[in-house]
Amino acid sequence: MREVVRITADSAADDGSNHRFTLVGRSGKLKETLDYDGSDPEWKVGDRIEVISDPEGTVPLGAAFDVDPEGRLGTLLLVIGWTGITLLAGRRGFLRRRAGRRPAFEDVD
């Protein structure tokens, strides 16, 4: 279930690690908390974020950007594109060397 919530409390606001954020949605306070293990979370009290939760409770609550595959689709396509370009350029260089051609740009000594 996707929902926009507001962060109302941070259990580790003072010591700075292992944050547990209390969330409030349309229907009130959520039973689950959003956990962040680290010293510098990207959220703070008062922020509104979109979260995805499992109604059955078998999968832990997570921020939508971290869970949503559509948010990472652009990065995946970029990596695939650059990998293809690299492979084609390498093959072109291999075929040119095999044919005995000289490189287009040679070092001038």
pLDDT, one tens digit per residue, over 65-89 is 655 566 577 888 899 999 999 999 9
The answer to whether residues 42 and 5 touch, using CB atoms and an 8 Å cutoff, is: no
Q: In the prediction, which pLDDT does 83 show?
A: 96
Domain ranges of the chain: 2-67, 69-100
* 3/49 Cα distance (integer angstroms): 8
CA-to-CA dists, residue 4 to 30, 62, 75, 88, 108, angstroms: 11, 12, 24, 44, 62
Q: Which helix (H) or strand (E) segment is 35 a member of?
A: strand 34-36
Query: Residues 2-43: pLDDT tens digits?
Result: 788 888 887 776 666 778 888 888 888 888 887 877 777 778
* 94/101 Cα distance (integer angstroms): 10
Q: In the prediction, which pLDDT does 59 show?
A: 61
Q: In the prediction, which pLDDT does 65 show?
A: 60
Confidence of residue 52 (pLDDT cuts 50, 70, 90): confident
